[in-house]
Amino acid sequence: MPTEDVDDSGFVAVTAMAGRFPGAPDIETFWDNLRAGRESVSVLTEQMPAAQDGHVPSYGLLSDTDRFDAEHFGYSSEDALIMDPQQRLLLECAHEVLERAGHSGPERLPTGVFVGGSASDHGAFVRAWAHGRGAPLTESRVQQGNDLDFLAPRISYKLGLTGPAMAVQSACSSSLVAVHVAIGALLAGDCSMAIAGGVAVPAAIPTLWHDPDDIFADDGRCRPFDAHGRGTVRAGAVGLVVLRPLDEALSDGDHVHAVIRGTAVNNDGRRKMGFHAPSVAGLAGAVRTAHVVAGVEADEIGYVEAHGTGTVLGDSVEMAGLTKAFRQSTDRTGYCRIGSVKANIGHADAAAGIVGLIKTVLCVEHGVLPASLNFTEPNPAIDFASSPFVVNDRTIDWESGGRPRIGATNVIAYGGTNAHAVVAEAPSAPPTTPGRPDHLLVLSARTRPALRKAARNLADHLERFPDTDLADVAWTLQTGRTMHPERHFVVAADVAEAVAALRAAIPDEPGPGHLTLRRLAFLFAEPDDNRAGSAAAVHGAEEVFRTHLDDVAAAAHPHLGHDLRRTLATSFPSGPTLSSAALAEQYATARLLMSWGLRPDAVAGQGRGARCAAAVAADAGPDDTARLLLGLTEADNSALPSAADVGGAPVGLSGRAEKPAETGRPLLCDASALPDSGPGQIVVHIGARPPATPAADDSVSLYVDVLDEPGHPATGLRTLLTAAGRLWVAGAALDFAALHTGERRRRLPLPTYPFERRTYLVPHPTSYPPASLTHGK
């Protein structure tokens, strides 16, 4: 947590992360692997002769790089084949990271995209494949599917993002430089949110040869900072983060994994032995500048995720540069832990920086420092004894002495572009407000199988985290996700009930979500004078319902000499008071549904229910509404439809019911004139119990009654939420933000869209089938 005297106006929150890593298809598995000390570098069995003939036998391989959900993103099979796997994987991860951030809904913030990528041979494979089948492709199609220039714009186009979109290329430091550029755009106001990171996915795994002038180990293992280090291992990876200014993220209820307090980027210039060599002075300058920007002293930093390639020269120069920068504000020794993720997965080229940043964020967030692997004896070219650093050779809890945990990520690159980021523990999130006693959870997908998978994934997640606030789950699902045509919902009071409902079978046949709701009508029932109960649960939980009911009750009091609200809370003999109370409840129920965006195209009433319809159609005030509901002939009818009979007879048809009146008010109809239930139209029966034998297709006929039966628990709110959920499933434009008016909610990282991937593989001679891979230790 930042100290009070630190200006946090330039701090940026990391609100979501997504990625694909060797041995890990997601962030959670990646972190589990790090904590367990797993080395996820694959041994290529066909290259096992290895050092005997100069072959390098290992690679940090990603799984399923040939698979892609083309239909989800609107691509044909040929388009998917043409597209570089880097482009495909980055697009899926961008979709995922927005959902993890809770900002994938229709109301998206102006969002920038800043990403780097690695060179790929995929375009050459595509050209050869197209030529071989006798149907050459235009060069424009090949370029658009493969050139790095289109990494960022493709994401912006497909996801509807309107901030700056640009490729950031600086070799190994590309993705961390992309984060630096994204932060600059956020602080300059170019966008309100940013996706930043990078990708490195080879089109094929070539036969790898050891080059003594290169940085890759001939034995296929990376040993950062170790005396036996012979270099690093090539790897693929994808990594993205979502960034927002810290104050905006906190006020908007975003989940904050950690805070980037400052970044810096520079270049070595000519201050080094050669183009590929690192520079102590250049690196030290970037590190020190990042400290100054972040407002931290070096002795506040407890961990550095180093570039750490395991080369004698690279590691020693990096440690000398870090030490030089730290020595400008501290003379302490041996207090700061250091590690390198390259020992776990290899060197991910353009994605190396974002992989290191994601690891640092996870360390800061969870308060654990995973072991830096393959370290047995310090590199003699590194003077650890007089430096601030000690290699973190075992997994430990991060003890910070009560101060905020602060770490850093360091990257150097061929060509000399250095990048450094200072990452701090997130401040405490503002408290949320109490939610409803029942919660509406909504799920959608492009296909029915994906919808069922989404429900199972959410159930698994809630079982794993049973203390999750279900109100926040509802908010995240309602406002933070793209809405697809296949839809499902559950209403639950707690996590256990939600899990059980989510595990219940979703029918195989397409649901009504593939329809578009064309017409919605409210039909108000004749009040049943023999029933009494309580609407107290809804009255206590829903402000809109409470306000309308209270206002009408206050306006009716002079005419009745009795409070209608007491009538709803107790049993009274049949008579006009109970009838008026039931009508007032129906009216308040309609107003509540309308406040949720469920505005009817037509309204009608049965018997005295026509009075409610007239009041809703006229948008009458409390006094006129009270007179209408009480059946007083002295009601001021000037604002009401001319056909209304406020004495209680059915209201005459005042217009066609195909669409709302030009005033935006619903059309007032005779009950018999309502459109018949059918595809794309729903009649909501308010204040009526469903018949003993329901309609053959009750998906288009809803019954809403908040009046609770004596002796039964309050169910009125659940009935309303169920009605809202069924209308949403049928295509209604439910205003989810209005469902939470007056609440302070928090976005949660929940399971993301279950892509339905298929294989899209352009044949090439150097690919290795999955069966030829085994994992190292």
* Averaged pLDDT, 221-247: 96
Q: Which pLDDT score is estimated for 526? A: 87
d(CA 687, CA 522): 10
CA angle 448, 450, 453 (to 5 degrees): 115
Q: Which pLDDT score is estimated for 503? A: 95
Instruction: Give the CA dihedral 407, 366, 198, 269, nearest 10 degrees.
Output: 10
Q: Which pLDDT score is estimated for 648? A: 35
Total Cβ atoms within 10 A of residue 763: 9
d(CA 95, CA 302): 33
- 701-704 vs 681-686, strand pairing mode: parallel
Q: b/e map of 476-488 (b: 16 or more CB within 10 Å)?
A: bbbbbbbbbbbbb
Q: Dump strand ranges (E) for 425-518.
A: 439-445, 486-492
How many whole angstroms from its chain centre is CA 479?
10
Q: Which pLDDT score is estimated for 425? A: 97
pLDDT, tens digit, for every residue of 384-437? Answer: 999 999 999 999 999 988 899 999 999 999 999 999 999 999 999 999 998 888
Fold exhibited by the domain 440-514: Alpha-Beta Plaits (3.30.70)
Is residue 278 pLDDT above 60, yes or no? Answer: yes
For domain 519-731, the CATH superfamily is Malonyl-Coenzyme A Acyl Carrier Protein, domain 2 (3.40.366.10)
| 56: confidence class by pLDDT, cuts 50, 70, 90 | confident
Is residue 622 pLDDT above 60, yes or no? Answer: yes
Residue 269 region by backbone torsions, left for phi larger than 0, else alpha for psi between -120 and 50, else beta: left
- One-letter amino acid at 668 equals L
Is residue 568 pLDDT above 90, yes or no? Answer: no
pLDDT, tens digit, for every residue of 322-379? Answer: 999 999 999 999 999 999 999 999 999 999 999 999 999 999 999 999 999 999 999 9
Three-state SS at 382? coil
Q: Which pLDDT score is estimated for 120? A: 93
Is residue 771 pLDDT above 60, yes or no? Answer: no
- One-letter amino acid at 59 equals Y
- 336-339 vs 389-391, strand pairing mode: parallel
d(CA 598, CA 605): 18
Q: What is the DSSP string of 507-540?
A: PSS--GGGS---EEEEEEPPP-TT---B-HHHHH
Total Cβ atoms within 10 A of residue 259: 26
Q: Which pLDDT score is estimated for 472? A: 97
Q: Which pLDDT score is estimated for 240? A: 98
d(CA 5, CA 413): 35
Written in H, E and C, the secondary structure of 265-289 is: EEECCCCCCCCCCCCHHHHHHHHHH
Q: Which pLDDT score is estimated for 575? A: 57
Q: Which pLDDT score is estimated for 581? A: 85
Is residue 550 pLDDT above 50, yes or no? Answer: yes
Written in H, E and C, the secondary structure of 316-343 is: HHHHHHHHHHHCCCCCCCCCEEEECCHH
Whose CA is closest to 96, among 238, 237, 271? 238
| 516: confidence class by pLDDT, cuts 50, 70, 90 | low
- 439-445 vs 681-686, strand pairing mode: unpaired
d(CA 403, CA 397): 14
Is residue 636 pLDDT above 80, yes or no? Answer: no
Whose CA is closest to 492, among 451, 520, 452, 455? 455
First to last CA, the chain: 38
d(CA 315, CA 229): 9
CA angle 375, 22, 216 (to 5 degrees): 55
Q: Which pLDDT score is estimated for 214? A: 75
pTM of the model: 0.90
Residue 561 region by backbone torsions, left for phi larger than 0, else alpha for psi between -120 and 50, else beta: left
* Averaged pLDDT, 692-707: 55
Q: Which pLDDT score is estimated for 529? A: 59
d(CA 558, CA 561): 6
d(CA 549, CA 300): 58
Residues in the chain: 777
d(CA 385, CA 329): 18
d(CA 151, CA 351): 13
* Averaged pLDDT, 108-136: 91
Q: Which pLDDT score is estimated for 561? A: 78
Is residue 651 pLDDT above 60, yes or no? Answer: no
Is residue 659 pLDDT above 70, yes or no? Answer: no
* Averaged pLDDT, 23-29: 97
Give the pair of three-digit tokens for residue 629: 């509901």
Q: Which pLDDT score is estimated for 533? A: 52
Q: Which pLDDT score is estimated for 715? A: 64
Whose CA is closest to 196, among 30, 368, 351? 351
Alpha helix stretches (DSSP H) within 619-715: 622-630
* Averaged pLDDT, 505-516: 62
When mean pLDDT is compared across 76-85, 113-122, 768-777, the lowest value belongs to 768-777
Whose CA is closest to 233, among 200, 184, 196? 200
Whose CA is closest to 484, among 104, 155, 749? 104
Instruction: Note whether 425 and 360 are within 8 A (CB).
Output: no
CA angle 558, 563, 565 (to 5 degrees): 140
d(CA 687, CA 705): 5
d(CA 55, CA 624): 88
Three-state SS at 683? strand
Residue 687 Cα distances to 257, 611, 707, angstroms: 47, 13, 8
Q: Which pLDDT score is estimated for 209? A: 72
Three-state SS at 2? coil
| Burial (0-12, 13-18, 19+ Cβ within 10 Å), 51 | middle
Instruction: Name residues whose C-beta falls within 8 Å of residue 466's C-beta, 6 or more positions apart in sequence.
Output: 495, 496
Query: Nearest 5°: phi and psi at 147?
Result: -70, 140
Give the pair of three-digit tokens for residue 717: 């709110």
With a pLDDT cut of 90, the percent of the chain lying above it is 66
d(CA 546, CA 717): 12
* Averaged pLDDT, 735-762: 94
* Domain residue extents for the chain: 12-429, 440-514, 519-731
| Structure-model confidence comparison of residues 189 and 130, the more confident one | 189
Is residue 439 pLDDT above 70, yes or no? Answer: yes
Is residue 137 pLDDT above 50, yes or no? Answer: yes
> DSSP secondary-structure letter at 232?
B
Q: Which pLDDT score is estimated for 183? A: 98
Query: Nearest 5°: phi and psi at 543?
Result: -65, -40
Q: Which pLDDT score is estimated for 711? A: 45
Q: What is the mean pLDDT of the chain?
A: 86
| Structure-model confidence comparison of residues 568 and 628, the more confident one | 628
Q: b/e map of 664-695 (b: 16 or more CB within 10 Å)?
A: ebbbbbbbebbbebeeebbbbbbbbeeeeeee
d(CA 54, CA 50): 6
pLDDT, tens digit, for every residue of 140-185? Answer: 999 999 999 999 999 999 999 999 999 999 999 999 999 999 999 9
Three-state SS at 365? helix
Three-state SS at 380? coil
Q: Which pLDDT score is estimated for 570? A: 55
pLDDT, tens digit, for every residue of 703-738? Answer: 776 655 444 455 678 889 999 998 999 888 899 999
| 676: confidence class by pLDDT, cuts 50, 70, 90 | low
CATH for the stretch 12-429:
3.40.47.10
Q: What is the DSSP string of 159-213?
A: HT--S-EEE--BTBTHHHHHHHHHHHHHHHTS-SEEEEEEEE--SS-PPPB--TT
